[in-house]
Structures are given as C-alpha cells and as structure tokens.
Amino acid sequence: MASIELRQVSKIYPGSAAGVKDIDLSVADGEFVIFLGPSGCGKSTLLRSIAGLESITAGDILINGEIVNHVAPRDRNIAVVFQSYALYPHMNVWQNMAFGLRMRGSPAEEIDAKVKEAAELLGLTPLMQRRPSALSGGQRQRVALGRAIVRDPQAFLLDEPLSNLDAQLRAEMRLELVRLHRKLGRTTIHVTHDQVEAMTMGDRIFIMKDGRLIQQGPPLEVYANPADTFVAGFLASPPMNLVSGRLVEVGDGLAFRTDGAMLPIPAAFRAAYAAWAGKPVIFGLRSEDFHAAPNGDSSAPLTLQVEAVEALGPENILIGRLAGAPTQVSARLSRHYSAQPGESVTLYADLTPMHLFTPEDGKAIPRPRAAPALLRRHA
C-alpha cells in the first residue's frame, strides 16, 4: 500500500517544449486517481517519472513519505500497464505474468499459485500457453493487467490502457478496472485523454495541460466548477458552450449580453460578479442546461437558429447559433424534442449552473460554488 506525493516536480527535455513544470499533487493510499489531458500534456511523462523510468529535472517524488528520486524502478514496487501493453513477445502468457516474480526470486510454487490466481481472476486460464501474437487486443490487455497484479505491487500506474480497444471492449474494461481496484484496494493512477474514463473511474481527477496541473478534485466537483475554459471544454462532449459578450447592469441586477441574447444573472451570483459589470466576459453553459420548456426561476428564453441535429437515440443534440451571433452553441435535449436544420427554435437556458470566465486568460471568475449535480438531486 502506498501514498504518492509529488513536490514541485519538473521534467524538462533539452531543446523541447514537452515535459512537466512545477507539479504538486498527492494521492492517498488506496485512492484511484485520473491524470486527464490532451496528448502531449505531460501526463505520461509524469507517470513514467513516478515509476522511475524517467529522471526528473527538479522536485521530489515521495512514496509512503520517502523521497524516491534516485530509487531504481525495480525497487519502487510499482506496476505499470503500458498503452502498447508491452508484452514480452518471446514469452507465453504464463511466462509474461511470472516474469516479475521470477526476477524477484520468488519460489516456484508461489509463482505458479499467484499466476494461476491472477489468470483465474482475469479469465486467462485457457490461454496460458499462447504467445502474445496469438492473442486478441482485449486478451493482451488482460495479460498486461495480470502481469501487474501478480506482483502484488504497492501501486498501479496505468498509461492509457484502454485506448487501443474498440468501444464495446473499452466500456467492459472500464468497469473491470474499477472492480479490480475495489477488490485489490491498491493505489492506482490512470492516465487517459478520454473524458468518459475520467468521469466514471476515479475518486479524483487531475487535469493537465501543457505540462502543468490545471485543476484537481472529484469528477463531479470539477465538472460543476471548472477552473478555466480549457477544463470547461475538455471534460464533456459536446464541450461546454462558451460565448463571448459583456456583463451589463439591468435595473438592480446583472445580465450577460451577447449578439442575439440577453441572459439575466441569477441573484445568488450578483455579489460575486458585481465587480465585472460593464466588462467583457466569456459566458459558459453546458449543453444539457438547455431545455425545451421553462424550468424554474432562473430559466431564460433564447432563440437558436438550428444548423444541425445529431440524433443519438436517447437524446438529440441541436447545434446552431444564437440569432446572428458568430459562436456555435450546442443544446442537448430529450429524444422527444427535435427540430429541422434552418429552423429557429425557442429554448430555455437554466442559468443556475452558469459560469463566467475572464476573456484574458480564461480563468473562472469566482462565484458561490455549484453543488455537483448528483448531490443536488439527493438533497
């Protein structure tokens, strides 16, 4: 069991913009966390640094409170599952899974017992004599996992382990990984660029961009309170609608004004946003906060010129523009509501979960925090 802590960790590659800068984070013992970010954001570099496969330029990496900067990978007792699976092609499944234990000099009976146990757990028992080249993608993925489990490491580092699987298999493995974590209770860091994995698998997510840690927190918490426009856009599909405009005073209240719409700011946020009155801001609202009918006090009507409709089955996504405005807006509506491209429809925006961001650096303007959607429903 292990806690993992990073203090001011930087990895700089000479002559390259890649790498990570000043990362501070800590993962509690037994926690399942997600490193989320676009490719090239440094999340895999960070993972390899924790595993000891890359030396860091500055800072400290602590496992169980001890600095391990110069501890060899084999002495960190951490297992890594690679995106490519990295199965040893000249060994069969049994040998692949037993390799780590054999390197550690475990007795033969113990190796056999542990490999059998892990194979049973992952449904690999009938494949033990096969070479990796004779396995399907999903089976290779399981062997890679098995190789990690067998060693009973302090922590698992998973580097985009699901990205080479097809959609259905990925969904199955997502559940399986979570189940495994619950069963084994080991600290797990899962690197991904997939927002579904990020939202559904981890206790906490760490969002990275350009080698920096942008935001961390429980998935729904981050979803409800994105720190900036990048997080707002990255953590959902379709991404949060971001519209440029200006905050104006209307009577004793505030409103967001943009081409084609005037949206009153909910009373609860007035004090927080007061200082921005008269200034340009970016307005953010998720696509699911548009409704076909008024929904509570903070609903505001607006007109959408529909340009495309994506009928997904369970829901219809309307893509269009606010009357005459340049920015594209997407609204996620029930499957019972649809429209034709070219039509203008009136939708009601629920403004309770709205956000304002500064146009300069895209940072969220602080306001009273929105409760995560799930918690609100229970309340």
Partner 1 sequence: MRHFGLHAGLWLAVALILLPPLWVLRTSLVPESMAYSTDVFPAFSLENYQSLFGQKRFGTFYLNSIIVALGSVIIALPFAAAMGYAFARFQTGGRFGRFLVLSLQMLPPVALVLPAFAILRSMELTQSLTGLTIVYAALNIPFLAWILMGFFEGIPVDLEWAAMTDGTTAWGAFWRIVLPVSLPGLAAAGVLGFILSWNEFLFALVLTGSKTATIPVALASLQTSNGIQIGKVSAGVVLAILPLIIASRFIQRFIVQGLTFGSVK
Q: Which residues bind partner 1 (CB under 8 A)?
A: 48, 51-53, 72-74, 76, 78-80, 82-90, 99-100, 103-104, 132-133, 137, 147, 151, 164
Minimal distance, residue 118 CB to partner 1, in Å: 14
Minimal distance, residue 86 CB to partner 1, in Å: 4
The tokens for 75 are 């002495």
Q: Which is nearer to partner 1, 79 or 281 (CB)?
A: 79
The tokens for 170 are 């990925």
Residues belonging to the chain: 379
Q: Which long-range contacts (CB under 8 A, 24 or more apart) does 358-364 make?
A: 358/281, 358/282, 359/244, 359/280, 359/281, 359/282, 361/228, 362/228, 362/229, 362/230, 362/282, 363/227, 363/228, 364/225, 364/226, 364/227, 364/228, 364/232
Q: Which is nearer to partner 1, 100 or 219 (CB)?
A: 100
- Spell out the SS3 assignment of 257-283: EECCEEEECCHHHHHHHHHHCCCEEEE
Asked if residues 203 and 30 have their Cβ atoms less than 8 Å apart, the reply is no
Minimal distance, residue 156 CB to partner 1, in Å: 11
d(CA 287, CA 38) in angstroms, rounded, equals 21
Minimal distance, residue 121 CB to partner 1, in Å: 19
Q: Backbone phi, then psi, for 262, in 5-degree steps?
A: -135, 110
Minimal distance, residue 84 CB to partner 1, in Å: 5
Taking the CA of residue 356 as centre, how many other CA atoms within 13 Å lie in the half-sphere pointing to its CB? 28
Looking at the DSSP assignment, which residues form a beta bridge with residue 250?
Answer: 253
Residue type, 320: G
Minimal distance, residue 374 CB to partner 1, in Å: 36
Q: Which is nearer to partner 1, 90 or 183 (CB)?
A: 90
Q: Which is nearer to partner 1, 163 or 244 (CB)?
A: 163
Minimal distance, residue 187 CB to partner 1, in Å: 15
Minimal distance, residue 25 CB to partner 1, in Å: 21
Q: Which is nearer to partner 1, 53 or 309 (CB)?
A: 53
d(CA 196, CA 237) in angstroms, rounded, equals 9
In the chain, what are the helix, strand and coil shares in percent, each to the nearest 5? 30, 35, 35
d(CA 325, CA 322) in angstroms, rounded, equals 5
Q: Which is nearer to partner 1, 53 or 199 (CB)?
A: 53
Q: Which is nearer to partner 1, 88 or 250 (CB)?
A: 88
Q: Which is nearer to partner 1, 187 or 216 (CB)?
A: 187
